[in-house]
Each structure stands twice: as structure tokens, then as C-alpha cells.
């Protein structure tokens, strides 16, 4: 699996960070992604078909491993690099906001004087959560280029740190640490850590959604199950009010519950609560 991972990592890095020609990109995608993924998928599928079906216990998603926990030194380096990349020359790189940032910041500034519960903003019909949050932030820190960058940096830092805890229901300590490392310094995170756009909220809510789903699946007590299901419902409601593409995350989460309903039908009441409450929350936007 590490061989496949290494090739995927190299291919993804070349496609993401290097200004290659279209022909070179197509060759990298064909050889380093498409053919390699198809080969790996075929090997795994062939092996799985030869084995009897396995039903995993969702209460023990993590198998006990001998992997060591990340040391305090590694955590210190990780925290230092996260803070450095997010705060280094915060108000000068990039030197000036892009057009969308200027529009969002102006709309948020208007909320300092008079609050507005408008659900869809501008002719583009943009969801309101980012503008509301930035408007509240401007009441704490006066509007400026620095405060605009600080707002996005704080979201990026928070997402990088919670990535570890949200991966823990599925992965060991060290693998969760590697997950959070790759997430914090990925092309995705670097793209959004200093740009105030509606997409900034998606990584934050996606990571939270993943973690709460994992902790829900691991929970055996009814009280904890309802606790994590409530958190999932709130996250998905907020996700709908952050960006329209959240419907994809919601649909995938719903599919997980549909599949699990065959394995654990006694949890259908909780799955139904998720579907009904999150669906009803979209009515104001739909109307």
C-alpha cells in the first residue's frame, strides 16, 4: 500500500505544484493515477471476492496496533510550522484582497452598524454564514486587511489542529498525526488559509463531519450516540448555510447511514432524525 501511496503522492504533487504542459499532465494522470488506481482496485477487488464477507464492528473501528504515538517534539514542530505558515507576513502575502474578498468584506462591514438576516447575498445568491461570521468578527476587531487575513488564518489553524482528533476514530495515533500533517500543508489548505471566500468554511465543516461521524459509529451508549448525532445534525445544517456544494457531503453522510441501517436497524430512529432535521433546515434557503 505504501508503494501505491508514494506514486499517488508524487503524481498529485506534480499535477498540483508544477507548471507542466497539457501533454505532460495527461501522461502523469494516465500512468500515475488512472492506470495505477485501476490496478490497485483490481487487486483489492480480486482478493476480496476470494474471501468470505466480513462485517466490521463499528464500535471498534480502530484495531490495536504497535504504532507509537507522535512524540512531543513532532507535535512542537507541527504546531510551529502551522503557526508560521499562517501568520508569516499575514497582511502582505498576498499584497491585496482579490475581488471576492473585497465584496465579502464590504458586506460584512455593513453588519457592524445594522444586522441583516438576509439568507442569500448579492446577485450570485451566496449563502450567509461566512458573511455573518465575518460581521461578528469585525465587531471584535475593526475591519482592516490584517483582520480579514486573521479571520481566515484562525479558521485554517483550527481546522489543521482538529484534523488529528477527527481522524482518530478511524486511524491510529501516528497515522492520524500523518493525516493532520498532510492536510495542514496540502495544496487545499494553502489555497484557503489567506483567502476569504465561501469555500473557507468547507474544510472546517468537512473535517468536523468526518470526526463526529466516526465517534458516533464508535459509541455504544445511547446517550453518546445522541450526542454525536446532534453534533452531526448541527454541522450539516451549518454546512448548508456555508456553501451550496455541501449537499454532496450531506448526501455521502446519508448514504453511510443507509448502508448501516441494514447492519444496525435499531439505529434507524437516529438516522431518520438526521435526514428529517437537516432536510427541514434547508427550507428557508429553498423558499
**For residue range 75-116, what is the model confidence (pLDDT) as tens digits?**
999 999 999 999 998 888 888 888 888 999 999 999 988 898
Q: What's residue 164's pLDDT?
A: 94
Whether 104 contacts 135, CB under 8 Å: no
Asked whether 62 and 169 are in contact (CB, 8 A), the reply is yes
pLDDT digits (tens, 9 = 90+) for 237-271: 999 999 989 999 999 999 999 888 888 888 888 99
42-71 core/surface letters (b: 16 or more CB in 10 A; e: else): eeeeeeeeeeeeeeeebeeeeeeeeeeebe
- In this predicted structure, what is the pLDDT of residue 52? 67
What stretches of 51-116 show up as alpha helix (H) in DSSP? 72-87, 99-113
Cell numbers at residue 3, please? 508503494
Of 88, 230, 210, give the one whose Cα is nearest residue 156. Answer: 88
Check residue 55 and report its DSSP letter: -
Q: Which residue bears the cell 496496533? A: 65
pLDDT for 262 equals 83
**Mean pLDDT on 209-225:** 91
CB–CB of 78/172 below 8 Å?
A: no
Strands, E, within 160-214: which ranges?
none
Residue 149 near residue 120, CB atoms below 8 Å: no
pLDDT band at residue 49, thresholds of 50, 70 and 90?
A: confident
CA distance 242 to 271: 23
Confidence of residue 57 (pLDDT cuts 50, 70, 90): low
SS3 content of the chain, % helix, strand, coil (to 5): 75, 0, 25
| Pair 137, 249: CB distance under 8 Å | no
Q: Is pLDDT at 24 greater than 60 in this prediction? A: yes
Per-residue model confidence (pLDDT) at position 53: 59
What angle (nearest 5°) sits at the alpha carbon of residue 97, between those of residues 93 and 103? 160
What is the rounded CA–CA span in Å between residue 175 and residue 178?
Answer: 5
- Name residue, grid cell 453534533: 231
User: Residue 215 contacts by C-beta under 8 Å, 6 or more apart in sequence?
Assistant: 169, 224, 228
Adjacent-strand bridge partners of 121? 126
Q: Which three cell numbers stand for residue 235?
A: 454541522
pLDDT of residue 61: 55
Amino acid at each position: 500500500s505504501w508503494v501505491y501511496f508514494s506514486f499517488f503522492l508524487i503524481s498529485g504533487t506534480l499535477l498540483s505544484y508544477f507548471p507542466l504542459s497539457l501533454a505532460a499532465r495527461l501522461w502523469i494522470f494516465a500512468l500515475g493515477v488512472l492506470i495505477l488506481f485501476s490496478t490497485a482496485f483490481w487487486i483489492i477487488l480480486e482478493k476480496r471476492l476470494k474471501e468470505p464477507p466480513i462485517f466490521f464492528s463499528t464500535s471498534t473501528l480502530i484495531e490495536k496496533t504497535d504504532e507509537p504515538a507522535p512524540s512531543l517534539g513532532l507535535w512542537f514542530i507541527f504546531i510551529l510550522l502551522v503557526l508560521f505558515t499562517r501568520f508569516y507576513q499575514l497582511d502582505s502575502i498576498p499584497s491585496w484582497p482579490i475581488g471576492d474578498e473585497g465584496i465579502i468584506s464590504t458586506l460584512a462591514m455593513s453588519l457592524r452598524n445594522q444586522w441583516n438576516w438576509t439568507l442569500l447575498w448579492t446577485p450570485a445568491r451566496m449563502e450567509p454564514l461566512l458573511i455573518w461570521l465575518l460581521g461578528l468578527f469585525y465587531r471584535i476587531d475593526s475591519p482592516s486587511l490584517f483582520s480579514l487575513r486573521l479571520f481566515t488564518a484562525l479558521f485554517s489553524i483550527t481546522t489543521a489542529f482538529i484534523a488529528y482528533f477527527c481522524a482518530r476514530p478511524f486511524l491510529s495515533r501516528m497515522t492520524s498525526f500523518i493525516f493532520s500533517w498532510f492536510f495542514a500543508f496540502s495544496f487545499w489548505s494553502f489555497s484557503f488559509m489567506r483567502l476569504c471566500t465561501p469555500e473557507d468554511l468547507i474544510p472546517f465543516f468537512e473535517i468536523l463531519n468526518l470526526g463526529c461521524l466516526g465517534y458516533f459509529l464508535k459509541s455504544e451508549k445511547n446517550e453518546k450516540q445522541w450526542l454525536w448525532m446532534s453534533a452531526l445534525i448541527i454541522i450539516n445544517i451549518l454546512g448548508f448555510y456555508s456553501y451550496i456544494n455541501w449537499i454532496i457531503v450531506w448526501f455521502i453522510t446519508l448514504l453511510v447511514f443507509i448502508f448501516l441501517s441494514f447492519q444496525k436497524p435499531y439505529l434507524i430512529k437516529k438516522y431518520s432524525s438526521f435526514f428529517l432535521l437537516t432536510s427541514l433546515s434547508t427550507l428557508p434557503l429553498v423558499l
